[in-house]
């Protein structure tokens, strides 16, 4: 029992925790402001939230400049380049989402202040996730980012679809996390410790052990759910369609990224030794996810739902490198991180356009995009760029993400990898088929219901659009920008 009593207060590295604390501070600040001047504060909220996110970037920059790797709580919580890159990514995408939300939330009947509080909280969870190197902290981070997301998904109080979206997301979410926890308990049982390094040592090698396999699988499945990998994707389309569009964007980008981050940690640090489980698992999952996502997307008529399935397929692409995690770890991580970064911008951009168009057409149907190019050429071109990026066509950013996958696969080499590469190739083709349906509507079709008044793009949306558009194109023309982050994150993640 003395073991249990021997408790010493861990040393806190405030600089390392600065981002989380800033975020937390702004979250509370918003709440307080809300309590003090509730109604009158509405206008200030998005600004506050945005400031909060930007402010949080400051300590991240200082940490990046400082560059030393910081570890706390016995390695449960680590701040290294990898985590910093992803924290930054979370915050920037969060900021874009806030920009997207401004008008949407203001114009609909929503609880406005809480909305931003919850979003900041969820982002806090994500930021923590990127630093967590321990089953417990991963679990806590996961729940911290999920629970607010459940609520946000149901945020349109009156809307049955939104409620249903929330319910589905919630039930499936907790169910999955229960499964995951069970897996974690087994893993813990075998490793006798919760930190990834320890797990890596215990499970790393040695004869295969059914319990270990079961544990690993369940843990992975928990996160596979988070990144909406087939067959654990079922919640995604419904939730995306039902949830308020900014929230959808948030889920599709930020929370998916969070899931990926966790997976990177688990796969490349904790379970790397068990490639006999990991690689086949992800081979199957990624192939399934890409293909099923793309195929179903072919049949969608609602743009958001189409983007949902496209998002699932994209997730499948991101999972591809995991299939060669052990054979080419460095390239694999690089590929995933790069993909995440580029994906965040191109997908957010696409959603931004959807929002902008929906403000006029009040419809999510693809047909409502007819002749967009005639009356809103700017938006049409922007959408074209984003879809091209998603399809992976140079010079829009996406090609480099896809390129990363191929690179990882071929670096690993071997028949399986090559096979998966071909699957990816085929899927890029299928994918374009449905992106093209949107393009076709925008460019080739007459204006829907003859109403060709131009679309007014609000300042916030305009800003979001600019950011995403610039980033997408920049990543396409000078992939070095994003490639660099991929590189640095590899070194730290693999502790090299």
Partner 1 sequence: MLLNQFLILGAVLFAIGVYGVLARRNGVMVLMSIELMLNAVNINLVAFGVQHGVVSGQVFAVFVIAVAAAEVGVGLAIVLLLYRNRRSINVEDFDLMRG
Partner 2 sequence: MWMLENAFIIPLIPAISFVVILLFGKRFIGPDRVHVVGITALGLVWVLSALAAFQWTQRVEHPPPDAVVQMASHADDHADDHADDHADDHADDHADDHVVVSENNSGDAHGGGHSSPLIRPVISTFSQWWSNGGIEFSVGTLVDGLTVLLLIVVASISLLVHIYSTEYVKDDRRYVHYYAFLSLFTAAMLFFVMAQNIVQLIVGWELVGVCSFVLIGHWWEEKPNTDAALKAFLTNRVGDIGLLVGIIVLWGTFQTFDIDAINTLIAADPGAHHLALLVAACCLMAAVASKSGQFPLHTWLPDAMAGPTPVSALIHAATMVVAGVYMIARLYPVFYEGLSVGTSSINLMAFIGGFTALIGAALAFAQWDIKKVLAYSTVSQLGYMVMALGVGAWTAAIFHLFTHAFFKACLFLGAGSVSHAAHHTFDMRKMGGLKKDMPHTYRTFVISSLALAGIFPFAGFWSKDEILLGSLVGQKNSYPLMLIFGCVVAVMTAAYMTRVIWYTFHGEFRGEGHPHESPKMMTTPLWILAGMAVIAGVFNLPGPVLEPFGLEGLAHRIQTYVEPSVYLSGLGLSHPDPSLTMALVGLALAVSGIVVTYLYYWRRVGLHGMTERNRYAKNGYTFLENKYYLDHLYNDVIVETVKRPIANWANRVNQNVLDRVVDRAGETARDTGRWIYKWIDQGAIDGSVNAAARGADSSGEGLRAIQSGKIQNYGQLLFGSAAVLAIVFVIVV
Partner 3 sequence: MEATGFDTWVLSLAVFLPLVGALVIMMIPKAYEAELKLVALGSSLVALIVGVYSAFQFDYGAAGDLQFVVDKGWIDVINSRYIVGLDGLSLPLLLLSLVVVPLCLIYSWNHVPEPGNTKAFFILLLILSTGMNGTFVAQDMILFFVFFEVVLLPMYFLIGVWGGEERRYASLKFFLYTLFGSALMIISFLALFFLSKDSSGELLHTFDMRVLSDVAGVGIIKNTQVWIFAGLFMGFGIKVPMFPFHTWLPDAHTQAPTVGSVILAAVLLKLGTYGFVRIAIPFLPEGAVSWAPWIGLLAVIGIIYGALACLAQTDMKRLIAFSSVAHMGFVMLGIATLTDFGINAAVFGMVAHGLITGMLFFLAGSVKERFHTLEISRLGGLLKSVPRMGWILGFATMASLGLPGLAGFWGEFPAILSAYNPGAGLPEETFRTYMVIAAVGTVLAAGYLLWLYQRTAFGEPPEEFAGHEIEDVNRLEWIAWTPFLVGIVLFGIWPNLIFNVTDDVVSGITASVEAIVAGG
Q: Is 473 in the site for partner 1 (CB under 8 A)?
A: no
In contact, 93 and 344? CB cutoff 8 Å: yes
Report the alpha-carbon angle 337-338-344, nearest 5.
90
- Distance separating alpha carbons of residues 137 and 82, to the nearest angstrom: 17
Q: What angle do CA 444, 445, 450 make, to 5 degrees?
A: 145
CA 125 to chain centroid: 13
Strand pairing report for 70-72 and 77-79:
antiparallel
235-242 and 160-191 helices, crossing angle to 10°: 140
Scanning 67-75, 81-89, 217-225, 482-490 for contacts with partner 3 by CB under 8 A, the matching segment is: 482-490
Q: Where does this chain touch partner 2 (CB under 8 A) — which range of 133-141, 278-286, 325-333, 396-404? A: 278-286
473 is a site residue for partner 3 (CB under 8 A)? no
**Neighbouring-strand partners of residue 132:** 77
Pairwise CA distance, residues 227 & 246, whole Å: 18
Distances (CA, A) of 340 to 257, 319, 486: 6, 11, 10
**Contacting residues for 74 by C-beta, under 8 A, at least 6 apart:** 10, 134, 195
Look at residues 160, 93, 95, 150 and name the one whose alpha carbon lies nearest to residue 118. Answer: 150
Should residue 478 be labelled a site residue for partner 3 when binding is judged by CB under 8 A?
Answer: yes
Counted residue by residue, the chain has a size of 496
**Pairwise CA distance, residues 145 & 464, whole Å:** 23
Per DSSP, the residues of 418-460 read: HHHHHHHHHHHHHHHHHHHHHHIIIIISPPGGG--PPPPPPHH
Among positions 12, 28, 47, 161, the unique one binding partner 1 when judged by CB under 8 A: 161
> CB of 217 within 8 A of CB of 277?
yes
Contact between 188 and partner 1 per CB under 8 A: yes
Among 163-171, 384-392, 450-458, 481-489, which window interacts with partner 2 (CB under 8 A)?
163-171
**Residue 281 site contact among partner 3, partner 1, partner 2, none (CB < 5 to 8 Å, cut-off depends on kind):** partner 2
Instruction: Residue 193: name its binding partner from partner 2, partner 3, partner 1, none (Cβ under 5 to 8 Å by kind).
Output: partner 1
Is residue 181 within the footprint of partner 1 (CB under 8 A)?
yes
Least Å distance, CB 345 to partner 3, is 18
Site for partner 1 in 263-292 (CB under 8 A): none
Positive or negative, the CA dihedral 317, 318, 319, 323 is: positive
383 near partner 3, rule: CB under 8 A: no
- Closest contact distance (angstroms) between CB of 372 and partner 3 is 12
Q: Which is nearer to partner 1, 201 or 466 (CB)?
A: 201
Give the x-and-dash track for 169-188 against partner 2 (CB under 8 A): --xx--xx--x---------
User: Taking CB under 8 A as the criterion, which residues in 423-462 touch partner 3?
Assistant: 424-426, 428-429, 432-433, 436, 439-440, 443-444
Of 233, 321, 407, 438, the one binding partner 3 by CB under 8 A: 407
Stretch that binds partner 2, among 38-46, 114-122, 205-213, 382-390 (CB under 8 A): 205-213
Q: How far is the CB of 171 from partner 2 (least distance, A)?
A: 6
Which pair of structure tokens corresponds to residue 51? 């400031």
Residue 166 is a binding residue for partner 1 (CB under 8 A) = yes
Contact 148, 118 (CB under 8 A): yes
Binding residues for partner 1, rule: CB under 8 A, are 3-4, 135-136, 139-140, 143, 147, 150-151, 154, 157-158, 160-161, 163-168, 170-171, 174-175, 178-179, 181-182, 184-186, 188-189, 192-194, 237-238, 241-242, 299
Name the residues that contact partner 2, by CB under 8 A: 167-168, 171-172, 175-176, 179, 208, 210, 213-214, 217-218, 221, 225, 231-232, 234-235, 237-238, 276-277, 280-281, 284, 292, 294-299, 430, 433
Residues that bind partner 3 (CB under 8 A): 334, 373, 377, 384, 388, 391, 393-395, 399-400, 403, 406-407, 410-411, 413, 418, 421-422, 424-426, 428-429, 432-433, 436, 439-440, 443-444, 478-480, 483-484, 486-487
């Amino acid at each position: 029992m003395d073991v249990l009593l021997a408790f010493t207060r861990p040393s806190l590295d405030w600089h390392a925790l600065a981002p989380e604390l800033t975020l937390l501070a702004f979250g509370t600040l918003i709440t307080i402001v809300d309590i003090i001047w509730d109604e009158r504060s509405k206008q200030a909220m998005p600004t506050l939230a945005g400031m909060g996110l930007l402010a949080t970037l400051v300590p991240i920059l200082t940490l990046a400049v400082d560059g030393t790797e910081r570890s706390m709580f016995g390695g449960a919580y680590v701040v290294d380049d990898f985590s910093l890159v992803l924290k930054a990514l979370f915050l920037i995408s969060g900021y874009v989402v806030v920009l997207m939300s401004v008008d949407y939330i203001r114009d609909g009947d929503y609880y406005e202040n809480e909305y931003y509080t919850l979003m900041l909280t969820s982002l806090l969870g994500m930021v923590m996730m990127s630093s967590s190197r321990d089953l417990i902290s991963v679990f806590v981070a996961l729940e911290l980012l999920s629970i607010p997301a459940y609520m946000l998904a149901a945020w349109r109080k009156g809307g049955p679809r939104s409620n249903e979206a929330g319910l589905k997301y919630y039930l499936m979410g907790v169910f999955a996390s229960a499964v995951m926890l069970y897996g974690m308990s087994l893993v813990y049982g075998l490793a006798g410790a919760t930190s990834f390094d320890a797990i890596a040592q215990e499970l790393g090698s040695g004869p295969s052990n059914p319990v270990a396999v079961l544990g690993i699988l369940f843990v992975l499945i928990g996160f596979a759910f988070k990144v909406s990998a087939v067959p654990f994707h079922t919640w995604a389309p419904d939730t995306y369609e039902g949830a308020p569009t900014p929230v959808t964007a948030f889920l599709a980008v930020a929370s998916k990224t969070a899931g990926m981050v966790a997976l990177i940690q688990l796969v490349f640090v904790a379970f790397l030794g068990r490639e006999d489980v990991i690689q086949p698992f992800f081979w199957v999952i990624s192939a399934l996810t890409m293909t099923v996502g793309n195929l179903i997307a072919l049949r969608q008529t609602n743009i958001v739902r189409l983007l949902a399935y496209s998002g699932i397929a994209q997730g499948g692409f991101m999972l591809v490198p995991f299939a060669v995690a052990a054979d080419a770890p460095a390239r694999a991580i690089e590929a995933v991180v790069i993909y995440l970064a580029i994906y965040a911008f191109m997908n957010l951009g696409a959603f931004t356009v959807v929002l902008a168009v929906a403000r006029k057409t009040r419809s999510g149907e693809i047909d409502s995009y007819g002749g967009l190019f005639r009356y809103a050429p700017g938006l049409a071109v922007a959408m074209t760029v984003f879809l091209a990026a998603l399809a992976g066509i140079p010079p829009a950013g996406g090609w480099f993400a896809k390129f990363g996958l191929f690179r990882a696969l071929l670096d690993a080499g071997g028949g399986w990898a090559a096979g998966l590469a071909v699957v990816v190739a085929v899927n890029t083709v299928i994918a374009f088929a449905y992106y093209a349906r949107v393009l076709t509507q925008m460019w080739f079709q007459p204006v829907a219901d003859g109403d060709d008044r131009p679309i007014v793009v609000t300042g916030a949306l305009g800003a979001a659009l600019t950011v995403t558009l610039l980033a997408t194109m920049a990543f396409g023309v000078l992939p070095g920008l994003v490639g660099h982050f991929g590189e640095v994150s590899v070194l730290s993640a693999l502790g090299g």
